[in-house]
C-alpha cells in the first residue's frame, strides 16, 4: 500500500471542508452586508445603519461615520449639531460639517419610524457625545465629579446609619401604637385570635419598609455617582431608566389586573356563599330536621365536606384565568410543579378518602357505635374522610386511618342492640365435672347483679367449644351505654360478679390453663372475700 493511497481520502476530506468554510464565509459576508450596524461613539449609540447607501453597505457607512466624528471631535469647535434634508436622505452635521446620512431604509416601518425623527434623535445624541468627550479631557471636571460622588456616598452612608438606628425604634413604635388600638381596629372577639398575628405582620412590614428605603437609596446613589463621570454616564442613565420602566411596568400590571382580580374575588365570594348555604342544608340533615333521598344524619356530614370541596375546586378553576400573572410562563410552570407534587404525594391521601367514602356510604360504621377494629375497641366519635376516631373505655382517643379500618374485620357491638345499648360478652372455661345447667345459671345470676346490664332481652349463655379438659362458655348481654359508665368498666364489674358467683357456689374456673385436678378446689370462700385467701 502506497502513501498516496493512504492519504488520498484525507486530502479529499480536507478539500471538501475548505470549500464548505469558504461558502460559509461568503454567506456570512452577505449577511453582514445587510445586517444592522450601530454607530457607537464613546458609550453612546448615536445611530443604527440598516440599509445601504448606493454601493456602501451599512457596516461601511458606520465605519466611515465613526471616522468622520472622531476626526471632528479632535478639532476645535462649538459642538453644534444640525440636520438637513437632501435627495439621498437627512444629513446630520457637526459644526456645519456633514458626518453621516440617515436614509429611509434605516427606519423600521413596523415601529412607524421616520428618517427625519431618527436624524433628530441622532443629532441630539451626537451633541451629548461631543460634550462628554470634551468633559473627559478636562481634569477639573473629573475632580468636581469625584467630590460630588464623595458627597453622595457620604449622604448614603449617613442615611443607612440612620435607618439602622431607627429601625428597631420604628418597629417598637408601630407595635405599641397598634397594640393600644387593636381593640378598636378589630371587631370584638377577633382581636383575641388575630391580634398577635396583626402585630407581628405590622412589625415585619416596618422592617421591610426600612430595607426597601435602603435599597432604593443605594440604587439611586450609585446611579448618580455613575452619571457624574463621562465614561459611565450612559450606565447611570440606563439604571434610572430601568428603575422607572420597572415602576411603570408594575403600576401598569396592577392597573390592568384590577378588573380580573375583581372578577376572581367575586367568584370566591360566590363560592363562600354557596358553601355557607350547603353547610346550613347539610347541618339540618345531620340534625334530623330534613331528609333528602338517600341523605340522612349518617351520610350528611361527609357529603357536605365533598360538596364544599367541589365548590371551591370549581371556583378555583373558574377564577384561575383572572388571577394576576396566571398567563405568565412562571405561573404556568409553578402550577405544573404544584400539580406534579400533589399527584405524587396525594396517592395515599386519595386512598384514604376513598376508604372513608366506602365506610360512610356503606354504613359500615356510625358515630356512637361501639366497635372493635383489629386489636382496638371503643366508641366511634368521628368518622371523617381521612381517619376514624375511637374513644376507649380507658379514656383514650385512638385515630385509625380509613384504609386500615376498611381492610380489617370490624366487630360492631351496637348495630343489633337497641338504641343507646351495645352488646357485651365474656368467655370462661369450666371443667366437665360442673353441671352445664349450673354454669348457665351462675353466669346469668352474675349478669343480673350488674345494674347496667339490661334484663330485657335476658342475658344468655352459649357453649362455644368442648375442649379436651374443659368447656368454653360465652355470656352475651346488652348494657346501657352511658358516659359515666364506659363499656370497659361494666365488663370489669361483670367479671367481678362472675368470680363472686362461682366462688359462692364452689365451682372452679379452669382458665387460663388446665394441667390436673388440684388437691383442693381453687375457690375463695365468701368469708375470705375481703381478706386473704385460705392457705
Q: Residue by residue, what is the 3-state secondary structure of 53-82?
A: ECCECHHHHHHHHHHHHHHHHCCCCCCCEE
In this structure, the chain runs to a length of 535
Spatial separation of the C-alpha atoms in residues 65 and 70, rounded to whole Å: 9
Which pLDDT band holds residue 61 (cuts at 50, 70, 90)? very high
Q: Which three cell numbers stand for residue 190?
A: 377577633
Q: Is the peptide bond before 64 cis (omega within 30 degrees of 0)?
A: no
List, edge to edge, every strand of the sheet that includes 410-412: 397-401, 387-391, 376-383, 370-373, 410-412
Spatial separation of the C-alpha atoms in residues 352 and 357, rounded to whole Å: 9
Is it the case that residue 101 has pLDDT exceeding 80?
A: yes
Q: How confident is the model at residue 12, as a pLDDT?
A: 45
Which of 116-130, 173-187, 217-231, 420-434 is predicted with the least confidence, judged by mean pLDDT? 173-187
Q: How confident is the model at residue 514, as a pLDDT?
A: 61
Q: How confident is the model at residue 25, as a pLDDT?
A: 40
Cα angle 278, 283, 286; round to 5: 125
Is it the case that residue 4 has pLDDT exceeding 50?
A: no
Q: How confident is the model at residue 21, as a pLDDT?
A: 43
Return the sign of the alpha-carbon dihedral for residues 201, 202, 207, 211. Answer: positive
DSSP 453-496: B-SSSPPEEEEEEE-SSEEEEEEEEEEE-BTTB-HHHHHHHHHH
For residues 271-294, one letter each, b for 16 or more C-beta atoms within 10 angstroms of the residue's C-beta and e for the rest, the string is beebbeebeebbeebbeeeeeeee
Is it the case that residue 417 has pLDDT exceeding 80?
A: no
Q: Are 473 and 432 in contact (CB under 8 A)?
A: no
- In this prediction, what percent of the chain has a pLDDT beyond 90? 23
Which of 22-31, 176-185, 397-406 is predicted with the least confidence, judged by mean pLDDT? 22-31
Q: Which three cell numbers stand for residue 119?
A: 436624524
Q: How confident is the model at residue 484, as a pLDDT?
A: 53
Is it the case that residue 386 has pLDDT exceeding 60?
A: yes
Task: Identify which of 408, 412, 405 has the alpha carbon closest to the alpha carbon of residue 354.
Answer: 405
Q: How confident is the model at residue 55, as a pLDDT?
A: 87
Amino acid at each position: 500500500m502506497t502513501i498516496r493511497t493512504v492519504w488520498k481520502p484525507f486530502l479529499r476530506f480536507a478539500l471538501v471542508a475548505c470549500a464548505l468554510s469558504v461558502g460559509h464565509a461568503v454567506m456570512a459576508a452577505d449577511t453582514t452586508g445587510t445586517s444592522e450596524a450601530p454607530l457607537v461613539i464613546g458609550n453612546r449609540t448615536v445611530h443604527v445603519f440598516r440599509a445601504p447607501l448606493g454601493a456602501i453597505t451599512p457596516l461601511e457607512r458606520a465605519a466611515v461615520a465613526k471616522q468622520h466624528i472622531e476626526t471632528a471631535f479632535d478639532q476645535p469647535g462649538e459642538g453644534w449639531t444640525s440636520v438637513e434634508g437632501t435627495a439621498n436622505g437627512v444629513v446630520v452635521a457637526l459644526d456645519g460639517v456633514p458626518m453621516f446620512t440617515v436614509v429611509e431604509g434605516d427606519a423600521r416601518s413596523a415601529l412607524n419610524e421616520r428618517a427625519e425623527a431618527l436624524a433628530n434623535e441622532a443629532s441630539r445624541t451626537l451633541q451629548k457625545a461631543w460634550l462628554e468627550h470634551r468633559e473627559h479631557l478636562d481634569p477639573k471636571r473629573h475632580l468636581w465629579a469625584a467630590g460630588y460622588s464623595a458627597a453622595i456616598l457620604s449622604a448614603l452612608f449617613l442615611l443607612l446609619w440612620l435607618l439602622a438606628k431607627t429601625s428597631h425604634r420604628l418597629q417598637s413604635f408601630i407595635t405599641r401604637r397598634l397594640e393600644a388600638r387593636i381593640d378598636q381596629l378589630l371587631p370584638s372577639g377577633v382581636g383575641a385570635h388575630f391580634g398577635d398575628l396583626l402585630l407581628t405582620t405590622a412589625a415585619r412590614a416596618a422592617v421591610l419598609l426600612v430595607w426597601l428605603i435602603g435599597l432604593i437609596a443605594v440604587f439611586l446613589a450609585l446611579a448618580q455617582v455613575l452619571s457624574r463621570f463621562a465614561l459611565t454616564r450612559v450606565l447611570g442613565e440606563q439604571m434610572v431608566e430601568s428603575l422607572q420602566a420597572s415602576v411603570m411596568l408594575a403600576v401598569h400590571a396592577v392597573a390592568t389586573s384590577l378588573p380580573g382580580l375583581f372578577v376572581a374575588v367575586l367568584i370566591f365570594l360566590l363560592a363562600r356563599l354557596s358553601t355557607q348555604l350547603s353547610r346550613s342544608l347539610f347541618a339540618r340533615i345531620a340534625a334530623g330536621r330534613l331528609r333528602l333521598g338517600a341523605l340522612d344524619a349518617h351520610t350528611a356530614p361527609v357529603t357536605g365536606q365533598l360538596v364544599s370541596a367541589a365548590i371551591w375546586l370549581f371556583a378555583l378553576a373558574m377564577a384561575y384565568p383572572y388571577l394576576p400573572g396566571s398567563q405568565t410562563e412562571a405561573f404556568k410552570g409553578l402550577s405544573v410543579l404544584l400539580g406534579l407534587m400533589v399527584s405524587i404525594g396525594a396517592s395515599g391521601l386519595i386512598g384514604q378518602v376513598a376508604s372513608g367514602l366506602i365506610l360512610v356510604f356503606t354504613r359500615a360504621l356510625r358515630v356512637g357505635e361501639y366497635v372493635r377494629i383489629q386489636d382496638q375497641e371503643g366508641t366511634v366519635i368521628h368518622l371523617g374522610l381521612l381517619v376514624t376516631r375511637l374513644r376507649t373505655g380507658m379514656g383514650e382517643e385512638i385515630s385509625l386511618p380509613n384504609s386500615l379500618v376498611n381492610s380489617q374485620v370490624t366487630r360492631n357491638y351496637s348495630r343489633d342492640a337497641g338504641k343507646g345499648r351495645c352488646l357485651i360478652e365474656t368467655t370462661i372455661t369450666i371443667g366437665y365435672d360442673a353441671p352445664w345447667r349450673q354454669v348457665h345459671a351462675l353466669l346469668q345470676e352474675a349478669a343480673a347483679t350488674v345494674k347496667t346490664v339490661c334484663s330485657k332481652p335476658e342475658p344468655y349463655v352459649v357453649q362455644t367449644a368442648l375442649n379436651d379438659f374443659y368447656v368454653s362458655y360465652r355470656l352475651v348481654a346488652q348494657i346501657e351505654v352511658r358516659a359515666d359508665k364506659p363499656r370497659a368498666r361494666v365488663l370489669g364489674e361483670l367479671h367481678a360478679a362472675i368470680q363472686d358467683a362461682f366462688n359462692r357456689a364452689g365451682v372452679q374456673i379452669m382458665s387460663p390453663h388446665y394441667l390436673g385436678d388440684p388437691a383442693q378446689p381453687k375457690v375463695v370462700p365468701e368469708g375470705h372475700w375481703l381478706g386473704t385467701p385460705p392457705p
